[in-house]
Amino acid sequence: MNNTSVRVRRATQLDSNDILTWRNDDTTRKMSRNTGIILKKDHDNWLTAALTNTDKVLLIAEDNQGKIGFLRFDSTDKGSRAEVSINLNPNRRDQKLSKTFLRQAKRFLPRGVNDLLACIKVENEVSNHIFSSSNYELKHSKDGYNYYILKIRK
Ligand SMILES: CC(C)(COP(=O)(O)OP(=O)(O)OC[C@H]1O[C@@H](n2cnc3c(N)ncnc32)[C@H](O)[C@@H]1OP(=O)(O)O)[C@@H](O)C(=O)NCCC(=O)NCCS
């Protein structure tokens, strides 16, 4: 698989329907904190606010076959940490594209972020594999979640 053609850019309102469709995918819902269906009205409100929220970075990866998926960084701890969430287009899963996306997304991180946090359901085998094989360190497990940290800077 040649992943060199993967391009990462900031999400816009034009990605809204895709982000919502992928978010309401059954597997994605099962692996999310909130497992309910997200209504379009709620999604639209959330996305409009998120796109102008400087504590969030919303990214889309694509290649010559189209959109690969969505990735979000949410700043916490006064900007020193960002939580990462990744959700691929269901049609583009099982092609080993997420590690490339995770790697390329780092260049969009705001200054001041020292580490990345990923909270992954213990049952989410593929995602646990992806983060642990992308140098994220498993720090602890609690209430069905594994907490991974990747140090960006000291
Ligand atoms: C998790 C997700 C991003 C992975 O995407 P992907 O890149 O298409 O994953 P792939 O199926 O191609 O597998 C990637 C790697 O995981 C491995 N893998 C796949 N299924 C696995 C399993 N059940 N157990 C362990 N490893 C597994 C693959 O062998 C591959 O390993 P390698 O790259 O080291 O060779 C994608 O499935 C997704 O969007 N899921 C829904 C949302 C989600 O769970 N997000 C994570 C929480 S933030």
From the first residue on, what is the mean pLDDT of each consecutive set of 10 residues in the chain (154 residues)?
80 98 98 97 98 97 97 92 98 97 97 96 98 97 98 82
Residue type, 14: L
| 93 touches ligand 1 (CB under 6 Å) | yes
Model pLDDT, residue 1: 47
Model pLDDT, residue 79: 86
Do 98 and 134 meet the contact criterion of CB atoms below 8 Å apart?
A: no
Q: Which atom of ligand 1 is nearest to the CA of 87?
A: 39
Model pLDDT, residue 47: 98
Model pLDDT, residue 26: 98
**Total residue count of the chain as it appears in this document:** 154
Model pLDDT, residue 77: 83
Do 105 and 72 meet the contact criterion of CB atoms below 8 Å apart?
A: no
Q: How many whole angstroms from 114 Cα to the centroid of ligand 1?
A: 25
User: First-to-last CA distance in the chain?
Assistant: 34
**Phi, psi (deg, nearest 5) at residue 122:** -55, -35
| 56 touches ligand 1 (CB under 6 Å) | no
Domains of the chain: 7-151 (3.40.630.30)
Q: How far apart are CA 154 and CA 144, in angstroms?
A: 29
Do 113 and 80 meet the contact criterion of CB atoms below 8 Å apart?
A: yes
Model pLDDT, residue 8: 98
| 87 touches ligand 1 (CB under 6 Å) | yes
C-alpha distances in Å from residue 22, one per residue of 90, 132, 137, 152: 7, 24, 27, 28
| 132 touches ligand 1 (CB under 6 Å) | no
| 89 touches ligand 1 (CB under 6 Å) | no
Report the predicted TM-score, pTM, of the whole model to 2 decimal places: 0.96
